Amino acid sequence: MKREVTKAIFPVAGLGTRFLPATKSIPKEIMTLVDKPLIQYAIDEARAAGIKEFIFVTSRGKGALEDYFDHAPILEASLREKNKTELLEKLKATNMESGAIAYIRQHQALGLGHAVWCARRLISDEPFAVILPDDVIAAETPCLQQMIEAYQETGGSMVAAMEVPPKAASSYGVLDIKEDMGSMVSVRGMVEKPKEGEAPSNLAVIGRYILTPSVLQNLNDLKSGAGGEIQLTDAIAKEIAENRDVFGYRFRGQRFDCGSKAGYLQATVAFGLANEELGNEFAEYLREMVTIPNAAQ
Ligand code: UTP
């Protein structure tokens, strides 16, 4: 099987209930860190890793997301006329090549595994990436690029993994480690959201995957069998049961869970501080702010 990865699935069909009421009319992925929507961070990471085809699994109410990737000729012309070159460049950086994006609907939010399965006909017989835009990763070498480089050596399927405190493990898919090779582990099993105290390790799966097409076949089987949410973790675990390799990759970088309010606020602060234009002023503001109790009330 070839090891070039040129397609990525972006499952964005979730309801985003943790951000209600905002997500009543705005897709979560359009929410911004400083001035860029979450989805743009995910696209930039995918492009840097050599992805050429971008497959969005969307749902009702995600129109703003599709519009975001349209070219904006009137806006561009107006910026050009006013000589706003810098803004024009920023805007153009969001343009996508015609035909590079596909949208598939997930008609019912039946889980992440089901969302990925919905894109099966666009994948054919090649490995593909899955990127959850909620997980924003600040890294010198973008996380997916790190993974694709590692994947070219190993093949199999690969999940991004990070150490979490034991108490937090029950919020994640957790790896049962067969062999620890440092930046990489080979995986004996995976447990989705283990009960407290029952996690097989403290190595949790986060939202970056490189998967072989057989995972889609596994999802097919799960789909016909299971009711309720269809878990991507279960379909990857089935690879191991069928003696195919699965690896966990300890990426270098800082991951922010922007699907949660606390993680989103932390990312906003981190990206605000790292911003060239705002960083110093924002740092000064924060220093003052933390000395004033309940300043926003
Ligand atoms: P989450 O578990 O964060 O769910 O999904 P959610 O619906 O987005 O948010 P909350 O929990 O209600 O606040 C993780 C990722 O999987 C996608 C989501 O869009 C998100 O990128 N997803 C989840 C789907 O595409 N379809 C689903 O049925 C479930």
pTM for this entry? 0.93
Distance CA 79, CA 5 (A): 36
- Which pLDDT score, from 0 to 100, does residue 2 have? 65
- Which pLDDT score, from 0 to 100, does residue 247 have? 97
What pairing do the DSSP bridges indicate for beta strands 173-180 and 184-192?
antiparallel
- Which pLDDT score, from 0 to 100, does residue 141 have? 96
Question: Tokens at residue 112, please?
Answer: 């992440």
Determine the residue of 30, 60, 112 to mutate for testing ligand 1's pocket, defined as the one with the most ligand atoms within 8 A of the Cβ atom: 112
Closest residue (by CA) to atom 3 of ligand 1? 259
User: 1 CA distance to ligand 1 centroid (A)?
Assistant: 30
Binding site membership of 115 for ligand 1 (Cβ less than 6 Å): yes
The domain ranges of the chain are 7-259, 260-297
- Top CATH class, 7-259: alpha beta
Binding site membership of 108 for ligand 1 (Cβ less than 6 Å): no
Question: Tokens at residue 233, please?
Answer: 């973790």
Closest residue (by CA) to atom 1 of ligand 1? 14
pLDDT in tens, the chain (297 residues): 667 899 999 999 999 999 999 999 899 999 999 999 999 999 999 999 999 999 999 998 888 888 898 888 899 999 999 999 989 998 888 888 888 999 999 998 889 999 999 999 999 889 999 999 999 999 999 999 999 999 999 999 999 999 999 889 998 999 999 999 999 999 999 988 888 888 999 999 999 999 999 999 999 887 654 446 888 999 999 999 999 999 999 999 999 999 999 999 999 999 999 999 999 999 999 998 888 766 655
- Which pLDDT score, from 0 to 100, does residue 294 have? 65
Closest residue (by CA) to atom 2 of ligand 1? 14
Determine the residue of 9, 10, 15, 104 to mutate for testing ligand 1's pocket, defined as the one with the most ligand atoms within 8 A of the Cβ atom: 15
Binding site membership of 16 for ligand 1 (Cβ less than 6 Å): yes
Binding site membership of 136 for ligand 1 (Cβ less than 6 Å): no
Closest residue (by CA) to atom 5 of ligand 1? 14
Residue 57 Cα: closest atom of ligand 1 = 25
Longest dimension (CA), the chain: 62
Question: Tokens at residue 45, please?
Answer: 């990471």
User: 75 CA distance to ligand 1 centroid (A)?
Assistant: 32
Binding site membership of 119 for ligand 1 (Cβ less than 6 Å): no
Binding site membership of 134 for ligand 1 (Cβ less than 6 Å): yes
User: 12 CA distance to ligand 1 centroid (A)?
Assistant: 7
